[in-house]
């Protein structure tokens, strides 16, 4: 029974490590109605966990130009969106509520 429990625990550790290796985490900040960083390098073929922190007092909507993501992030809060996997290339995004200033791009390699 101890051996079975140890094997099951080992399997869970390996499965968790594999799942973490397949997903990559990045952070994007909205400040003064602009994204920081404006350009973000992402790996091709990976599912990306993107945490967006809105440091402004007003809400912003994160929207991808060529990928299907739209998410409203209230002022002074955080949200998580999943993007990708992407093929190599450039993928623009914007803040729907501040289109003149809130622009950015993923550069996927």
pLDDT at 13 over 90: no
For the chain, give every domain's residue range: 24-108
What is the CATH number that goes with domain 24-108?
Answer: 2.60.40.420
The pTM of the full predicted model, rounded to 2 decimals, is: 0.78
| pLDDT value of position 74 | 99
Distance CA 64, CA 32 (A): 20
pLDDT (tens digit per residue) in 67-77: 999 999 999 99
Mean of pLDDT values over 7-16: 46
Mean pLDDT of 2-14: 49
For 19-69, the pLDDT digits (tens) are: 445 579 999 999 999 999 999 999 999 999 999 999 999 999 999 999 999
Q: Which two tokens stand for residue 86?
A: 């992407």
């Amino acid at each position: 029974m101890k051996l079975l429990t140890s094997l099951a625990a080992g399997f869970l550790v390996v499965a968790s490590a594999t799942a973490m290796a397949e997903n990559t985490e990045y952070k994007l900040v909205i400040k003064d109605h602009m994204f920081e960083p404006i350009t973000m390098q992402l790996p091709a073929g990976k599912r990306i966990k993107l945490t967006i922190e809105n440091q402004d007092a007003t809400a912003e909507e994160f929207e991808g130009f060529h990928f299907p993501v739209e998410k409203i992030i209230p002022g002074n809060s955080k949200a998580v969106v999943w993007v990708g996997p992407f093929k190599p290339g450039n993928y623009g995004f914007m803040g729907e509520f501040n289109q003149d200033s809130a622009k950015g791009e993923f550069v996927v390699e």
